[in-house]
Amino acid sequence: MSRRALITGITGQDGSYLAEHLLEQGYEVWGLVRGQANPRRSRVSRLVHDLRFVEGDLLDQSSLIAAIDRVQPDEVYNLGAISYVPLSWQQAELTGEVTGLGVLRMLEALRVVSGVGSSGTPSRQVRFYQASSSEMFGEVAETPQSESTVFHPRSPYGVAKAYGHFITRNYRESFGMYAVSGILFNHESPRRGLEFVTRKISHTVAKIKLGLAGELKLGNLDARRDWGFAGDYVSAMHLMLQQDEPRDYVVGTGVVHSVRDAVRIAFGAVGLDWSRYVVVDEEFVRPAEVETLCADPTRAREELGWQPRLKFEELMTMMVEADLAHLTHAQKYDEYSAHVDW
Ligand code: NDP
Ligand code: GDR
């Protein structure tokens, strides 16, 4: 019988890649979706005949209990979150509820349905993955950052993720649950939301190349990140749930680039000089910035055998080419979709 996985956040970037990866591994894959006719189901529309959906919301405990009870998963991947860092200042309480307390609600749903922590033998040992983030490191205490680096988050998002991280560890230690966190550094793809910097760059560069835009407004060009390809990172999530012992892992490339590097590569891919188009706009500068993040992925490499495949230059070029192809197609067939996320 095939193993069953439940993914929260299946309509997001990572959810779509993880669903594909688990289907390839022979899993029966369920996605938790919220709301009626969620428009972002389109991101997984090509998989719609292979996936199953269950309704639920990380804000609603009873919906999560009902979802776990219905699906009876072997593995749960908790990717659902408010994930855009600037939004977390505007909606700090909601970010705490979804990105932080949502993790507790998911763990509680698993505990209640499987009977962990009550007398008697638990009905089922479900394995739980929490999407932790390098944003928890924030103002870094050491470089590169490993599983033992202390956290100093710099945004309500980072603080909420730190709560999710520690409550996952606490349920592992308190109830013996197989519950782990992957501390993932930034990972990108042509499916990345348009608000995140790499996709904002690739999409705007493609528009400029096609004469649909004249400039690219950005914030801090000196911010440095360890950027990888999302398609590579979802296999690390899966591997973390296949180990004998539940442990947390840092996942990243160990290579750092600046936003300015990203811009230079993206404009270079279409033969344009970036300095003629990029404008620094205070609107995109954050109240508290995370200047540099760099992963030490030694544990993931040695224990999971995990390695990133795509280099940053290849990633940015691939994203620009994907946006160019999409916008060209949209220009031909549907003017409207040239301006919306896909
Ligand atoms: P996205 O922003 O693309 O996706 C977020 C997902 O969360 C969407 O499917 C969204 O669903 C869902 N969601 C939002 N609110 C709720 C809610 N109340 N109940 C249930 N689901 C909800 O994120 P990514 O795919 O990029 O990231 C996946 C996870 O990994 C996130 O937790 C993120 O914080 C974390 N992470 C991401 C990194 C990255 O570089 N991408 C790095 C480190 C961690 P809907 O369609 O309904 O809005
Ligand atoms: P981040 O990603 O905040 O690291 O969170 P994002 O792409 O938003 O920003 C990266 C860096 O680029 C700088 N920057 C800009 N960012 C955006 N979005 N827009 C701009 O115009 C711009 N100009 C400069 C930012 O200041 C920042 O330093 C992502 C999310 O996926 C999180 O959910 C995840 O946890 C972390 O990555 C790891």
DSSP-assigned letters across all residues of 140-195: -SSSSB-TTSPP---SHHHHHHHHHHHHHHHHHHHH--EEEEEEEPPEE-TTS-TT
The percent of residues in the chain predicted with pLDDT above 70, rounded, is: 93
CATH of the domain at 210: 3.90.25.10
In a domain, 299, yes or no: no
Q: Looking at per-residue confidence, does 175 or 120 come out higher?
A: 175
* Residues 256-315 pLDDT 10s: 999 999 999 999 999 999 999 999 999 999 999 999 999 999 999 999 999 999 999 999
Q: pLDDT tier at 342 (50, 70, 90 boundaries)?
A: very low
Q: pLDDT tier at 119 (50, 70, 90 boundaries)?
A: low
Unique residue bearing structure tokens 């959906």: 53
271 Cα–ligand 1 center, Å: 34
pLDDT on residue 39: 61
Number of domains forming the structure of the chain: 2
225 Cα–ligand 2 center, Å: 9
Please check whether residue 144 is in contact with residue 205, taking contact to mean a CB–CB distance below 8 angstroms: no
In a domain, 41, yes or no: yes
* Alpha-carbon separation of residue 240 from 32, 148, 230, 254 (angstroms): 21, 17, 16, 19
Ligand 1 within 6 A of CB of 98:
yes
* E-assigned strand segments in 191-233: 216-218, 224-225, 228-229
pTM of the model as a whole: 0.96
Ligand 2 within 6 A of CB of 291:
no
In a domain, 304, yes or no: no
In a domain, 183, yes or no: yes
Q: Do 143 and 217 share a domain, yes or no?
A: no
Q: Looking at per-residue confidence, does 47 or 182 come out higher?
A: 182
291 Cα–ligand 1 center, Å: 23
Q: Do 111 and 243 share a domain, yes or no?
A: yes
DSSP letter for each residue of 231-259: HHHHHHHHHHTTSSS---EEE--S--EEH
Query: Which of 76-80, 145-149, 328-332 comes out lowest in average pLDDT?
Result: 328-332
pLDDT on residue 104: 98
Ligand 1 within 6 A of CB of 38:
yes
**pLDDT of residue 189 exceeding 90:** yes
Query: Which of 27-36, 75-84, 182-191 comes out lowest in average pLDDT?
Result: 27-36
